[in-house]
Chain A
Amino acid sequence: MIEVSQLTKKYGDHVAIDSLNFTVKKGEVVGFLGPNGAGKSTTMKIITGFMAPSSGAAQIAGYDVFENPIEVKRRIGYLPETPPVYLDMNVEEYLSYVAELKGVEKERRLQLVNRAVEKTNLGQVRRRLIHNLSKGFKQRVGIAQALVSDPEVLILDEPTVGLDPKQVAEIRDLIKELRGQHTIILSTHILPEVQATCERIIIIHRGKIVAQDSLANLSALQSGGRKVHLKVRKSAAELGAKLKGIRGIQKVVSGATPQDWELDTESDDEIVETVAREIIAGGYGLLEIGSVKADLEDIFLKLTYGDSSPNGSGQRMEVHA
């Protein structure tokens, strides 16, 4: 559905995105992940035909974004970073105007507006001026606007920004619901969001794709990673040194209080056991111990900020689905 090859955008000497290659299949939900300024929005703007790249090409449903922008735009619903709403219109008027701009026939317009209003829960404000709506509602109007023409491809730039936790959950549910009917690309720097909604993740850093794979595969890649969290009754500084001495422990960090400790260890289950035994034997008073497998956050931090743990220092993962 979406094919991007060797896409590059330069602003003067600054390279915003550098030879991106990826494809998105029909009905797939793909998350664009990256720190601020990584090039997520730039990539999305190019795919929507809003901006031209310096080199490379992007195709949507077989149409080239630059050769055939009108055909491409007919098939796209786009939510930019700032929802593009007219403050002096009411929600219903606005959505109907957008549908008209997108070339929806008059007969279908009302039906599609109703559908978008329903999906984004805007029923109670449909006759209110957008000017008077809260930020969260404006954001939802923005999402409704992207949906209203029933496009094949949805491109959502940070769709949950400015929403309260309940609304965030609703939008995630909405995205899950749309999966299959629409091809969706969404960008975010909020990790749980991709975990909750996306089938595939593309991690961008400094304009380059540093990883792209399914969530399960990315987690599996982080072999050997485990984090252990401990809480003890006694605050004793020498515990740190003692823990470091245990074989298989890579890093010891003291936590929020002197009683909390965070350990990076190898994935071996025995290590947890050893740590527990050590603490009890030393009489530190073990209150809590928990172990977590490396999660998306670790993968993300490692890939983008170059976490310098011994087994992953400086090395980049190159994965292609």
Chain B
Amino acid sequence: MRPIIAIFRKEFKGFLFNPNFLLVCALMATLLSFLYPISLRSFQDQARNAMMFAHNSGGQQLNIHYGVFLKHLSYLNLMLILVVPALTMRLFAEEKKMKTFDLLLTSPITSAQIVIGKYLAALAAIFVIMLLAFLYPLSTAYFAKINWGPLVVAFLGIFLVAAVYAAMSLFCSSLTESAIVAFAMAVLFNISIWFVGVGVEVVDSSTARSVFEHISLNQHLTAMVEGTVRSSTLIFFGSAIFLFGFLSERVIESSRWR
């Protein structure tokens, strides 16, 4: 346990005190600060219109969760696809390049401890970004009544997706010495999991169809952003993270006998 904490602390500090991380946070905040008021304004317009024509809108309700927060989260997700690989690309690639990997591999720690320590540090860094993004709905609560349950679950959903990104990016980083290659691979991985679900449309057998449905990220995320937590969703995210964590551990371990 102690080595995990040591690695976690070192890497997390490495994120927080790295000017690049702060720069990324600042840029994300700038972009979100630009986009968030726009969706808020358009929601306000829709709401006003709806109120004016409430008698003929057929009782259809506007919801700030769908109109504003989900848009906000989809922007956030888009950024995370690129930002998570940028944060995690150096975790192993740089160690290999700078030969500091030798230090880790000759220390009395296991490969799994190295991977877990680094992965948790990446998660913590992502959590900081999530906190930053959470400030926007939080500030909205100042002048609107918000249903916190679905909002928190939706944020949790995006956090879990980002956790999958982090696991895949960490795996990519373990494969190469070059941070740029790790970054490019990780972005491709992150994008591709959104398209796995497309398989549903091209297979005929019902078993294959349900397999594709189950591994479709969209399917699971849709439920979460709407505020429902299903155990199958948690298992899906958990196993995706475990799979890539395990693969990274194998790659690290292999450098001992290659």
Contact = CB atoms under 8 A, between A and B. Distances in A.
Query: Do the two chains bind?
Result: yes
A151 to B, nearest CB: 10
A101 B109 contact: yes
Given A73-B108, A97-B6, A102-B107, A82 B256 contact: no
- The binding surface of chain B is classed by DSSP as helix
Given A73-B108, A87-B98, A88-B18, A101 B257 contact: no
A49 B2 CA distance: 21
A86 B100 contact: yes
A215 B103 CA distance: 32
- The binding surface of chain A is classed by DSSP as loop
A50 to B, nearest CB: 5
Interface residues of A, number: 29
A84 B100 contact: yes
A221 interface: no
Given A50-B256, A86-B98, A88-B18, A145 B103 contact: yes
Interface in B104-118: 104-110
A49 B18 CA distance: 32
Contacts of A80: 99, 102-103, 106
Contacts of A101: 3, 6-7, 103-104, 107-109
A261 interface: no
Nearest to B10: A97
A202 interface: no
Contact of B102 (A50, A52, A74): A50
B3 A103 contact: yes
B105 A85 contact: no
Contacts, number: 68
A274 to B, nearest CB: 57
B99 to A, nearest CB: 4
Interface residues of B, number: 22
A80 B96 CA distance: 13
Contacts of A76: 106
A88 B3 CA distance: 20
A50 B106 contact: yes
B238 interface: no
Nearest to A54: B257
B14 interface: yes
Contacts of B18: 88
A2 interface: no
Interface of B: 2-3, 6-7, 10, 14, 18, 98-110, 256-257
25 contacts: A49-B106, A50-B106, A51-B256, A52-B257, A70-B109, A70-B110, A73-B106, A73-B109, A74-B108, A76-B106, A78-B102, A80-B102, A80-B106, A81-B99, A84-B99, A84-B100, A84-B103, A88-B14, A98-B107, A100-B6, A101-B6, A101-B104, A101-B108, A102-B107, A103-B3
Given A73-B109, A98-B103, 9 more contacts: A51-B257, A71-B108, A80-B99, A81-B99, A82-B99, A83-B99, A84-B99, A84-B101, A101-B103
